[in-house]
Structure 1
């Protein structure tokens, strides 16, 4: 499902590697995920400033949100492990539609998790200067925890994407 190449004519590690086959999907770029997270930080900080400047009260990240993100990360890690066992270890054939579905879930989770990591980090950074009082401290703690859990969602999404790779030589069965 996922090709390991970095682009046509640019093989990693020198010559000898061929470019990805047509119809293959490239692995998600770590640089792109970092850029999305940085964009998320800007969105988070801007959102807090816009709400405060209009006289509104910035919402806090609820504990239920943290539970939901943790549940999502757990499901993604489970799917990544199961998919890795089926495709990489036992070399089972997986229905193409299921493999594509899992691959897209992994990619989407990595992108959304990166954006949310940035937004939550932006929220936390916005209240760091007032952390001595109770309200901002709670906002920093919950937003910080949400950012960490969002990183786990990114990690699980990337692992699921990696698990969908077709083994190099599918004819070699252990």
Structure 2
């Protein structure tokens, strides 16, 4: 399984942002711009919390297993792999979605004197911040589930758990 790369996520974010900015300009020239839902930032924040909770749970279980605590539940490799795949997929989709809202937010910066557009810009900014939280949680989850391979001095290894 390949690791997440910040450059790929940043490229997706920037590409989606540029396209959304251009689309918002075009759409606004024909009439009204669709609104940015407040729920976008809420959903992204919930995904970030789920990823963070999963990472903390796996980390605690791995620590308990490593310390050989009595009654410690181990981490199944397939469960850890599924968690990492969920985190990676969430980060990729979130980079696109946050880029979309970021591009719309940049377009709306020119209309901050209009109260409804200012609210939409705030919602778009909140969605971008929540998207950054999802990406950070996905990187943390990937780091938690990573074990070094034999003979690997840099600590890089396969993404799995014992």
User: TM-score, normalization: structure 1?
Assistant: 0.74
Aligned residue number for residue 68 of structure 1:
43
Question: What is the CA-CA distance between 1:126 and the residue it aligns to?
Answer: 0.5
1:64-121 Cα deviation digits (max 9, x unpaired)? 2222222111111101111122235633642232122111011111111222221111
Question: What is the CA-CA distance between 1:167 and the residue it aligns to?
Answer: 5.1
**Can you give the 5+ residue segments of structure 1 that lack an aligned partner in the other structure?**
1-24, 170-174
Among residues 20, 33, 37, which one is paired with 2:13 in the alignment? 37
Residue correspondences, number: 144
**Is 1:28 aligned to residue 4 of structure 2?**
yes
| Contact 2:65/2:74, CA 8 A, preserved across alignment | no
**Is 1:82 aligned to residue 57 of structure 2?**
yes
Distance (Å, rounded) in 2 between the aligned partners of 1:41 and 1:153: 17
| 1:52–1:87 Cα change, 3 Å | same
Please give the root-mean-square deviation of Cα atoms over the aligned residues, in Å. Answer: 2.0
Range 149-158 or range 25-34, more displaced: 25-34
Q: How do 1:21-170 residues align onto structure 2 when only pairs under 5 Å count? A: 25-53=1-29, 55-87=30-62, 90-91=65-66, 93-166=74-147
| Contact 2:20/2:103, CA 8 A, preserved across alignment | yes
**Can you give the 5+ residue segments of structure 2 that lack an aligned partner in the other structure?**
67-72, 151-162
Question: What is the CA-CA distance between 1:63 and the residue it aligns to?
Answer: 2.0
Match of 2:99, SS state, is helix
| Contact 1:33/1:110, CA 8 A, preserved across alignment | yes
Question: What is the CA-CA distance between 1:56 and the residue it aligns to?
Answer: 3.9
Distance (Å, rounded) in 2 between the aligned partners of 1:86 and 1:59: 45
User: TM-score, normalization: structure 2?
Assistant: 0.79
Distance (Å, rounded) in 1 between the aligned partners of 2:31 and 2:142: 40
